[in-house]
Every structure is written in C-alpha cells, then in structure tokens.
Amino acid sequence: MVYGRAHNIAIALASKKRSMNKHVISAKRIVAVIQARMGSSRLPGKSLMDLAGQPLLARVLSQTAAAKTLNKVVIATSTDLADDAIVEFAEKHNYDLVRGPKDDVLTRYQIAAVASKADIVVRITGDCPLHSPDTIDEVVHAFLNAGADYACNTNPYTRPDGQDVEVFTKQLLDKAAANAVLPFDREHVTPWIKRLLDVSILNFRHKHPHYPNLRWSVDHPEDLEFCRKVWTQLEKNKKPSFIFGEIMSAMTNSKAQPGQTIINEGFYLSIFNGASSEAALPCKLDKSFEWLARSDKVVPGAAQTYSKSWRHHIRGVTPIFLESGQGAIVTDVDGNCYVDLIQGLLPNILGYAHAGVNDAAHRRAKDGHSFSLAHTLEVELAERLCKIIPCAEMVRFGKNGSDATAGAVRVARAYTGRERIAVCGYHGWQDWFIGSTSRCAGVPKAVQELVHTVPYNDIDALEQILASKPDEFAAFIMEPVNFHWPDEGYLEKVKQIVHAHGALLIFDEICSGFHFQLGGAQKIFGVLPDLATFGKAMGNGWPISCIVGRRDVMKIFEDAFVSFTFAGDVSAMAAAMKVLDILEDGDAYAQMTAAGTKLFDGARVMANAAGLGNNFELHGHPHWSIFSFVDENGEMDRLTTALWIQEVTRHGVLILTTFNVCAVLSERDVTNTLTAFAHAFKRVAEAKRQGVNPTEWLDGPVPVPAFRVRS
C-alpha cells in the first residue's frame, strides 16, 4: 500500500497485521491520525523514549488502537531526517504511517486521510501516552450521534490534558487544507475549522467528575517521569490497553505527581511568533466623541460609574460609548466590535443579552414587576439562596452592591449598638465607606472618623485596630478574596479575632459571590461570616443584590430602616432565578475556567517569550485576574501598562487592568484575545528594545484610577 503518492512526500508501509475491523458503528470509515515527531524544543526524541519497557509512541498507538469506534490508526510524521527513526519504528512494528511537511501538520493530516480512505478523522497527538480508548470512543459516539461536523473534548477540558480528542469530517479537513493560510492554522490543524461559522461544532463534556487541571501530556522531563511511574503501575496488570478509570487508579496507586508546567505552551508560543511588533491601527471613534460633546453638556463625569467613564480609559484609544452587546462581544457607537474583558465590571457572567435570562425577566415584566405589596418570588429566591449560600438563613434584597453593604453595616451597628467599622477592600459609594478613601468629598468628618482601613492578609493589623478602640467596633467588613487568595488559616483567625472583640464579621462577596463558584468564598474556604453581601453577577446584568446571614442578626432588619422603592422588583429576581438554574448546571464555570486559564497562561507565556517576564505581573483566579507592568524596582509602570492596553484595545479587546472572564467566551474569542496580547507584548518589547518612552507611542493620556483600596 502506497500512501499519499500524489503529494510525492509520503511513504507507505504495509500494515495488514494492524488494520482493524472493529464493531461497525457507522457506515463511515473512521481513522485516527496520530501526529508524531522526534523534534521537540523541550524534550527532543520524546516520541521514542522509554515508558516502562515500550517507546512512548507505542503506548499511544496501543491505547488508541483499542478504541472500538476506529477502523484504522495512522501515524503522520514529517519528512524531516530526524523522523526517519519514527519510520523505522513503524516499519519494524507494522504500523501505518505517512510523511508530510514538518510545519504543515494540516497537510500531513490530509495525506493520512486520503491514504487511509477516511470519511471521518480522529486527531490524536503523539505526546499523550496516557490516552484511553473509552475516552476516544465517547467523543466519536457523541460526534456521530450529534451529526456534527467537528467535535472535541477540550473546550472545556473535562478529562486531563493528554486525553484530547478531535473528530472531524474528511470534507472539512479538505476545506481547511485548501483554504487555511496562516502558519499557525497549518501547524495546529483545526483552528481554521473552529473559526468557521457555518459548521456544527460539538464541545463534548465527559461525565463528572471532571479533571481540567491534570496534565498528562508529555512536554517536559517531569511529564515523562510522571507517565513512566503510571505506566509501571499499569504494567502490573498485564493487559494490552487500559481505560480511563484504570489509568486514574494507577495514577493514585503510583503516587506519581503530574507535571505542573503550563498546559499548551506551544499553542501560546505559536500565536506569539505569528504576531508583529508594528503599531496597531487606531479605531475610528468619531461618533464616540460626538456623543461625548453632547454628554458633557448634560451628564457630569460623562458616565454613571467612574470606571465606565473615559477618565478611566485612554481617551482617544478606547471607545467612550457602547451601543450593544451580544455574548462576549460589544459594539461601540462607531460600529467597532470588541471582545469585552470588562464585562460591565463583572455582572455579565453569562454574556450580554443572554436569551434565557432576558426571557425570564421579560416574561415576569409582562405580568407586572414593581408591585405595591411583597411578591412570592421574593420568598422563592430567598429560599433558594439559603440553600446555596452557607451562612444564609434569611435574605434581604437590593439593587446595587452599595445597597447591600450599607444595609449590612446599618444592621451590624444596630445589632451591636456600636458605631465603628473596620474595612478591607472596596465596598461601594456610600458615606460610611467612601469616607475612608481619597474620594471623600462631601462625606461629613464625623462619618469618616468611624471607618478604619485594614490591609488584607494582615492579622496583626486587624488585631491592633480593633484593640485600639475597645468595644467600639460594630463589624469588620472584608472581601474574603479578591485578586489575592487568603493565607492559610487567615479567614479563620479573622473570624476568631472579630468575635473576640464583640464585633460581627461581614463578607463582602459582591465580586467573589458568583464569580468563582456558587456559594461564594465562604463555601470555598469553609469560613462562615455573620452576614454576607452578594450582587454583580447575580442577575447577569439585571440589577439585583442581597444581604444574607445569621437569623438573629437578620431579624434586626425588622427595626433598622433599610427600605427603598425598587428593592422588591421581581423582574430582576426572575432573572436571578434563571442565572441560578444555569450556574447550578456547572458548565458555565467549566467554560470560564477553560477560557480564563488560556488567557492567564497565554499572557504569562507570551510575556516571557517577549523578554518581559520580570516586568509583567498577573495574579488572581482564572475567572478574575489583575495584571500590571512593573519597572526594575518592582514599582507599578503605568505608562507601559497603558501602551499594552492601547495595543490590545486596537486589536479588538475592551479591557481595563483585569481579565473579567464570562462563560460565553468562545475559542475564537479567546484566540483573538491571545493574538491581541501577542501583538501588545511584542510592541512593548520593541519599545524597550528601542529605548522609547511609552508616552511617545501612546495616543492618549494615561488614565488615573479613582483610588486604590485592594492591596
């Protein structure tokens, strides 16, 4: 059998012994193509390295070949001389193999598909010796059942990295091979396909439990060591192949530790390598400025929220007015589209204009929503929140986060009969808190004197402040987590100290509440406050917030006056009910982790590749992280940060200094965003190389934040 003669670069190997005739599950011929090469920047020759008595590639082949849905397995290697070793290996063991261009893996796949007469191609990469046949079968079955054109199990990852499966039609492969031009698309085979709008794509999720953070692919020596240990364990069972559950058990029994290095580093690097350091073209913002001229006459500050105004962005670079939003994309008044990494300052966790959520609110509004008396939906939503949020025994609603924090503080003061409040983080615009910041114009001195700021993760500072005015503190209100994670035992100690001083502990979970997982930080860390406040993502853009907490404290609401006209608006409550339905399903968080991890890891890999690893700081959770550039002394470098933001914005990403990730960031949105990052890192590196002061390349003034309260 001669494979791929037409391309004049493929070689043929007879493989009667290995040809498979499995259960016929489809009239279509399904062929797994395993890409493998000897070249690897981090682990050269890994394909044939030993894994408990067998070459790594032999492990991938035997595991793949055991999949019941496959008619054939073919190796696709390159014409590089170094890959003659893979050819010899295949010849010796009678495996089917084709050869094709080194960097054009897409063509190699096409050669393999033609040679093996495939109707459907299953893509497996040769660095996955812990792949399993049942994983492959599940994805192939799902692909066939859905009648999809393309299916994968990596968006989001529900099995470990190293169990990746992509399935697509030969027709689609041919289309990609004929049309994809970018080196990146040809190297990674499927990105071009995934950008198509007219194909049906299935993002398959395996059953729970999910393991999105396990790294099983072999890229680094430590990965190889890990796989060796697991295979040594598996070998004890003397079976020809192993299913996923058996590999998981072997991993546990072997006590092997999977590698900790970034997954898919090569993917980020190839995006980086494809980017240029040229200045991005400015976006047309004429209409934004026309509207600003009108706004200046009638709207002081030109926006209703400080960080949504042009003052908080680079004037002349970032649009000033938006027109619409759909999913993760917003369109400005000039018609420019952006992937929105601000997400309205966190509320749009499920993306803009979510049909299900909007529908729920609209249906409710049709039957009236701002009633003259209480409504049963208030009770239903409160009951539901009491089940979801660990400290919640009773609930009161509001519209903004500031309603909730002000209400919680009022109740804490009424409950304790004390006036002072210790704060840690940002808690809203009202007098009781904003008096502690530099933006305290209009706040009476007497009110300012009652609030005391405490740094995060600093137990001694908290103790000192509470002890400085014995029996005067009503509460300590804090963000239990924001971009920094609490030190081991910190939250427990906070609770102990606050209670020892006779004060209440309030967790401000306006941001953390729905963004990391349902139940908030109190659920993640297992520390229950007396009261907690939630808001932002609760209604996916429909205005709603709440205060929850201990029954005896919440009962104070019966006397303390916290009351306003729209607190009981049930259209936002209907939206919140729907948001909870969707978040309880679990997929939204998996999607956020998938997209957020790529942005987080990609940014770090690219910063290093640009030689800016020591200047670029990024921390937080994949769902919500913060970045900045720092100079040689570790001081914040606002000019470089602004230059980076300018370039990212002009490449179509609306951004402040955080990555606010929503659940509907598609793979395309993520790749586009990473491409924007790549250009920006290259531009910043170029400025440094040329010794250019970033202001010379900036087309607007560097924005000044209102104040900084998160350390």
Ligand X SMILES: Cc1ncc(COP(=O)(O)O)c(C=O)c1O
Distance CA 150, CA 194 (A): 8
What is the nearest approach in angstroms of ligand X to the Cβ of residue 522?
14
- Residue 211 appears among annotated catalytic residues: no
Question: Where does this chain touch ligand X (CB under 6 A) — which range of 162-170, 236-244, 328-336, 396-404?
Answer: 396-404
Q: Is the dihedral of CA 507, 513, 518, 524 positive or negative?
A: negative
**Using rule CB under 6 A, residue 513 touches ligand X:** no
326 and 639 Cβ atoms separated by less than 8 Å: no
| Of 337 and 447, CB closest to ligand X | 447
What is the nearest approach in angstroms of ligand X to the Cβ of residue 482?
7
Coil vs helix vs strand at 96: strand
Q: Which of 170, 536, 598, 682 is catalytic?
A: 536
| C-alpha R_g of the chain | 28
What is the nearest approach in angstroms of ligand X to the Cβ of residue 402?
3
Burial label for 335, CB within 10 Å (0-12, 13-18, 19+), is: exposed
Read off the amino acid at residue 564. F
The two three-digit tokens of residue 556, written as one number? 């104070």
Question: Where does this chain touch ligand X (CB under 6 A) — which range of 154-162, 401-409, 605-613, 660-668?
Answer: 401-409
Coil vs helix vs strand at 340: strand
**Using rule CB under 6 A, residue 402 touches ligand X:** yes
Which of 61, 165, 280, 511 is close enough to bind ligand X by CB under 6 A?
511
Question: Where does this chain touch ligand X (CB under 6 A) — which range of 32-40, 263-271, 397-405, 599-607?
Answer: 397-405
Question: Where does this chain touch ligand X (CB under 6 A) — which range of 240-248, 505-513, 546-554, 679-687?
Answer: 505-513
Distance CA 586, CA 403 (A): 29
H or E stretch covering 10: none
**Using rule CB under 6 A, residue 568 touches ligand X:** no
**Using rule CB under 6 A, residue 381 touches ligand X:** no
**Using rule CB under 6 A, residue 657 touches ligand X:** no
The torsion angles phi and psi of 604, rounded to 5 degrees, stand at -70, -40
What is the nearest approach in angstroms of ligand X to the Cβ of residue 321?
20
Question: Where does this chain touch ligand X (CB under 6 A) — which range of 56-64, 276-284, 419-427, 494-502?
Answer: 419-427
Backbone angle region of 512, left / alpha / beta, with phi > 0 → left and psi within -120 to 50 → alpha: alpha
| Of 58 and 423, CB closest to ligand X | 423
Distance CA 512, CA 556 (A): 25
- Residue 3 appears among annotated catalytic residues: no
Q: Which of residues 517-546 bind ligand X (CB under 6 A)?
A: 535
Q: Which of 426, 456, 490, 589 is catalytic?
A: 426
The torsion angles phi and psi of 56, rounded to 5 degrees, stand at -50, -45
What is the nearest approach in angstroms of ligand X to the Cβ of residue 191?
36
What is the nearest approach in angstroms of ligand X to the Cβ of residue 400?
3
Which of 138, 219, 223, 479 is close enough to bind ligand X by CB under 6 A?
479
Instruction: Label the pairing between strands 150-152 and 201-203.
Output: parallel
**Using rule CB under 6 A, residue 703 touches ligand X:** no
Q: Each residue of 416-449: b (16+ CB within 10 Å) or e?
A: bebbbbbbbbbbbebebbbbbbeebeebeeebee
Which of 108, 228, 427, 452 is close enough to bind ligand X by CB under 6 A?
427
Q: Scanning the structure block, which residue is given the tokens 């002394």?
A: 633
DSSP letters, 378-401, are HHHHHHHHHHHSTT-SEEEEESSH
**Using rule CB under 6 A, residue 625 touches ligand X:** no
| Of 156 and 568, CB closest to ligand X | 568
Residues with Cβ within 8 Å of 207's Cβ and at least 6 positions away in sequence, in order, are none
What does DSSP assign to residue 532?
A: E
The two three-digit tokens of residue 148, written as one number? 């999809």
What is the nearest approach in angstroms of ligand X to the Cβ of residue 545?
6
**Using rule CB under 6 A, residue 425 touches ligand X:** yes
| Of 352 and 624, CB closest to ligand X | 624
**Using rule CB under 6 A, residue 426 touches ligand X:** yes
Instruction: Give the Cα-Cα-Cα angle 401, 402, 407 (nearest 5 degrees).
Output: 105
- Residue 536 appears among annotated catalytic residues: yes
**Using rule CB under 6 A, residue 401 touches ligand X:** yes
Distance CA 118, CA 176 (A): 16
Site size for ligand X (CB under 6 A): 14
What is the nearest approach in angstroms of ligand X to the Cβ of residue 187?
41
Q: Which x/- pattern over 341-380 shows residues binding ligand X (rule: CB under 6 A)?
A: ----x-----------------------------------
What is the nearest approach in angstroms of ligand X to the Cβ of residue 461?
19
| Of 170 and 427, CB closest to ligand X | 427
Which of 30, 173, 474, 510 is close enough to bind ligand X by CB under 6 A?
510
Which of 100, 191, 428, 480 is close enough to bind ligand X by CB under 6 A?
428
The Cα-based distances of 136 to 62, 139, 168, 406, 590 in angstroms read: 13, 5, 13, 54, 21
Distance CA 578, CA 537 (A): 12
Coil vs helix vs strand at 313: coil
**Using rule CB under 6 A, residue 508 touches ligand X:** yes
Instruction: Give the Cα-Cα-Cα angle 204, 357, 570 (nearest 5 degrees).
Output: 150
- Residues at the site binding ligand X, with contacts judged by CB under 6 A: 345, 400-402, 405, 425-428, 479, 508, 510-511, 535
Would you please indicate which residues are annotated as catalytic (active-site) residues? 426, 508, 536
